[in-house]
Structure 1
Amino acid sequence: MRDSEQLAQSSVSQVVTPGHLLYGCLIQKSGALGEIRLKSSIELEKLRSTVIMAEPHTKTTSDYLSCSVSKEVLAVFEKAANYMKNYNQIHLNEGHLLKALINSHKVDHLLTEENKQIIIRLATSSRDMITHLAAYSFPDITSRFIDKVSKKEETELIQFMETHFSGWLDTIQFAFQQAEQNIYIARNDGGKIIGFAAYDTYQHKKGYFGPMGVLPDCRTKGVGYALLHYCLKDMKEIGYEYAIIGGAGPLEFYEKACRAVVIPLNE
């Protein structure tokens, strides 16, 4: 959101409006946001010129930004935060913001219907990502609470999935039907399962990482990072040149954790 604030400081009102948020998202050059620039007809310089001349009727403050914002921006942040919670995530990202901006109709005057649909398709939905394993090395992770699941732990993990990640229940049940269970689980100090990750399981496809899930109150503690890398280590040892991360979200986690990149969508 730094780009949005910087643009606001050079604007007539020096107040962040929905247009500033839109520009701040679209100016990014990498990942799904960079793909928008390639596949849409959005003219960023024209958008910038329009946004810096906007004069909001009201201004207030927000916990997300250090400078003044319009009341419309507060409404966008509230909507974006609701999307974040609905996705069971804990960090507000550009995908949440863009979805909120478009669905709240705060930037209708800045985007064509076609460009709105392009943004929704490319930046606000889960995407497949890919990471190269040829030069992969296992990071310095010391965790005595992460292990590959055993058949005797099936009932415990299935109960955990039913309670916390029911959307992935069928996938994990399928994994237990295979000769080898390619699933890692993380436990807390008390021995309770707090997270899981799998590979060669997503949509019954080889070479795919996922699904993965960590309890919300255990996130930001490196659990998901560790689970990811235990799986990637196995996948490299199997001989995979690449790992596909199926239906990844949030994208920025995988970009930072294992240098994964978004696989462009075919038109």
Structure 2
Amino acid sequence: MVLKDGLLTKQMSIAFGKAEQECKQAGSPFLMPEHLLIGCLDDGSSTMKEAKQKCGIDIDVLKKQYFLSYENLSFERCEPLEIPISVTTKLVIEQAISYMRNYNQIYLNEGHVLKALIMTGQTEKILTQAQNNILLSVATVSRDMYLDLTTYKKQKDVLSNIKMVNDRDAEGLVRFIIKEFGSRWTESIKLEFRKPQSSIFICKDQEGDIVGFAAFDIHQPGHFGPMGVAKNKRAEGIGESLLHVCLVRMQKRGYKEIVIDNAGPIEFYEKTCNAKVVPIK
């Protein structure tokens, strides 16, 4: 089994590192689901910190709660992990990859893995049902984020093939969205074309085909989203550039603080523009 580094978010790489560290400290010959759980919970991300607090989970206490039996266990290698993984851990990772693909994403994150751990029953012996439910609702789903635009600075390395959408692009943009993401955004996008002032930017490739889009003020004033990039173009900086172009335009419209609606790749927005997750009350 191979997990390429390029397909892991930075936080997921940290979580795997924490899991391997726990595995070594426990003297285990294989990486077990329990180690993976601790790695995800202890990765240092803001959502995991919030989830642990709401659940009342203490990592040090959690480490003392599980007991592993290694008899009759088969295992295999999983690159880039140094320690062999158990068959159960392999099943968890495969389920996490399935979630990633179902969400039309290309980077495995700790939310996918945590959800797989819970949904496959690997946490039942060490976490309560209430704790599992809180983790699912806080750390494995899209979250709204907020950004202070008064401290945001325009980026210089933005792609040049991004422009504001016009009426001639309307049909092509709707086709692109349906092809890549289904029909969930199409009605909102169609309504936006009726407004006198557009809030949609698109990115085209050398052939003139749309490969990405981003919008704001679609659902509510001061809200960014949706945004989407063609699956085969997501490692080319298109999403970052679309985001920055929109943020500059929102600044010019006088917004001081904005909300990023239903941010799926939370780590992307934290890294790209220093956005923060809106806490769940």
Correspondence for 1:54 among 45, 68, 71: 68
> For 1:180 and 1:154, how far apart are their aligned partners in 2?
14
SS at match of 2:189: helix
Read off the aligned partner of 1:183 and give its amino acid letter: I
Aligned to 2:269: 254
SS at match of 1:152: helix
Read off the aligned partner of 1:7 and give its amino acid letter: E
Could you tell me the TM-score, scaled by structure 2's length? 0.90
CA distance change for structure 1 residues 99 and 21 in 2, over 3 Å: closer, same or farther?
same
CA distance change for structure 1 residues 140 and 47 in 2, over 3 Å: closer, same or farther?
same
SS at match of 2:43: coil
> For 1:170 and 1:124, how far apart are their aligned partners in 2?
27
SS at match of 1:156: helix
> For 1:216 and 1:58, how far apart are their aligned partners in 2?
35
Corresponding position: 1:28 with 2:43: yes
Correspondence for 1:179 among 196, 201, 210: 196
Aligned to 1:168: 185
Correspondence for 2:212 among 195, 210, 218: 195
SS at match of 2:77: strand
Aligned to 1:129: 145
> For 2:60 and 2:54, how far apart are their aligned partners in 1?
16
Read off the aligned partner of 1:231 and give its amino acid letter: C
Kept after mapping to 1: 8 A contact 2:18/2:43 = no
SS at match of 1:209: strand
Q: Which residues of 2 match residues 205-244 of structure 1 at below 5 A?
A: 205-244=220-259
Read off the aligned partner of 2:100 and give its amino acid letter: M
Kept after mapping to 2: 8 A contact 1:195/1:224 = yes
Structure 1: 5+ residue stretches without partners: none
> For 1:45 and 1:89, how far apart are their aligned partners in 2?
33
Aligned-residue Cα RMSD (Å) equals 1.4
Q: Deviations over 1:46-72 (max 9, x none)?
A: 211234x52332332113522111111
Deviation at 1:28, TM superposition (A): 3.3
Q: Identity of counterpart residues, as a percentage?
A: 37
